[in-house]
Chain A
């Protein structure tokens, strides 16, 4: 796709409600290439901002995280960023705020918690709960 899709007429689209995911043929092994190094096409959902779908957001607490990768595995939108098995934070451009990452986080207290979308992350981090004792809900 040399032209931006925004400038295309109906007769220039790829037929078949199909979109190319990459600008060029994929020669590398995708799993070994970080997203920032992939030649995503303009129309790839990687380039779409969907953060405004969110009402609550997950906040990540680096102090407590044990890098177990659970949140990274379970996030349905690949919105948890992990490099070399170390969590880097949340990609707020693509996180829809479903809370699954928080649900699957095994630490005590959780290293990810949901906060109001309008809450500042720094402030959220000061409101973290304490470790729960055995049997405590």
Chain B
């Protein structure tokens, strides 16, 4: 724990970036690498003000790029420290090379990724392109839908990543601006409760252990690369159970319950929207409205974890649904959206064979509003009743001009 405690109110008004910074502070991070990029800048900026005001005992390292930021994190983590940083978009793209190094070396860095579109065209607003970019980097990925969750999940991220059976880096995602810059009421934990929850960290095989020297990131070629990757994948796949465990522990100290898959009114739903990020909360409002106005049995579901993807947990919740819209907030790049693929993959070997369509929406920060989601539910309901898809599988929802759809069924 840091030597100086911060007095916090029972309810604070924080934006998502402040939540990240507070979680870093309460976890008593040893090293934070700071390189600013919109919209995650305020995470390290706020943390730096804590540092300047004596609330932080750790180090801040000023680096010259995001590649250096993540490299610094890997070095500090390999040496034995608890480390964290934040980034977005192009910065994340620049980090990618080192993200793979980090997960391969099994260093539990926490990265707060404030989701933003990738250029070109240049755009600082939120979509999930950077989250998708890191999809296969071997990091655990948590997704928060509002500021409170950003705070909670960033704290949980340390505990999950550092767990002895996991030892993997964790990305804590939140939506750029919608979460990161919207001040919301947040109920923080006290410094002591938060630190006790996260716990002390002792790196296994730390590089600064001079009596047991270790080489990190060794060359293995064909004779050992595969086995190392197998070990990493096994740890990632079974980290689901650790995540559940940590969520349970977190519920005990905070009263806030998190699940591998979050859902709202899906139990009796005929039509469901599957999405990530802030859209989940907008869709909850749409679900209530459409149920009241039309009686359509609508529901919304969002995986809390993007990686490892909670395949069976998600599939079991969707067994009785008739039609699903998988909403991808990332430029599709020549195929169906990732979320569509994941959901299809999760359902294909089960009894459920709902109508499954892919809506690409909200790119570069374009709003998705309750009325649009209600319309999606209405059209999904038509399809559910007719037992067939109306139109093509993938549609770019909300783009100007004539309807843009692909992929005939």
Interface set of A (CB-CB < 8 Å, partner B): 5, 8-11, 13-22, 25-27, 43
Contacts and interface: CB of A to CB of B under 8 A. Distances in A.
Interface of B: 104-107, 167, 204-205, 210-218, 220, 224, 226-228, 230-232, 234-235
Contact of A15 (B212, B215, B231): B231
B105 A18 contact: yes
Contacts of A8: 227
Given A5-B224, A18-B105, A18-B205, A10 B216 contact: no
Contacts of B211: 25-27
Contacts, number: 67
Contacts of B210: 26
Nearest to B223: A6
B215 A10 contact: no
Contacts of B218: 17-19, 43
Contacts of A11: 231, 234
B205 A17 contact: no
Nearest to B228: A17
A10 B237 CA distance: 15
B231 A20 contact: no
A15 B224 contact: no
Contacts of A5: 224
9 contacts: A10-B226, A10-B234, A13-B224, A16-B105, A16-B106, A16-B107, A17-B216, A22-B213, A26-B210
A123 B104 CA distance: 48
B234 A17 contact: no
A15 B107 CA distance: 10
Top-6 shortest CB links A-B: A16-B106, A10-B227, A10-B230, A25-B211, A21-B213, A15-B106
Nearest to B216: A18
Q: Is the interface of A mostly helix, strand, loop or mixed?
A: loop
A16 B205 contact: yes
Contacts of A19: 214-215, 218
B390 to A, nearest CB: 47
B167 A15 contact: yes
A9 B227 CA distance: 7
Contacts of B232: 15
B216 to A, nearest CB: 5
A17 B167 CA distance: 12
Contact of B227 (A13, A21, A22, A26): A13
A17 B217 contact: yes
A20 B216 CA distance: 9
B358 to A, nearest CB: 35
Given A16-B104, A18-B106, A18-B214, 6 more contacts: A10-B228, A15-B231, A15-B235, A17-B104, A18-B217, A26-B212
Nearest to B101: A17
A13 B231 contact: yes
Question: Which of A18, A26, A27 has the most chain B CB atoms closer than 10 A to its own CB?
Answer: A18
Nearest to B214: A18
A14 B227 CA distance: 11
B257 to A, nearest CB: 31
Contacts of A43: 218
Nearest to B207: A18
B228 A13 contact: yes
A13 B210 CA distance: 21
Nearest to B220: A17
Nearest to A43: B218
Nearest to B205: A18
A21 to B, nearest CB: 5
A77 B228 CA distance: 26
B105 A17 contact: yes
Query: In the complex, which of the residues B205, B211, B230, B231 has the most CB atoms of chain A within 10 Å of its own CB atom?
Result: B231
Nearest to A24: B212
A10 B224 CA distance: 9
Residue among A16, A22, A43 with most chain B CB within 10 A: A16
A90 B162 CA distance: 45
A43 B220 CA distance: 10
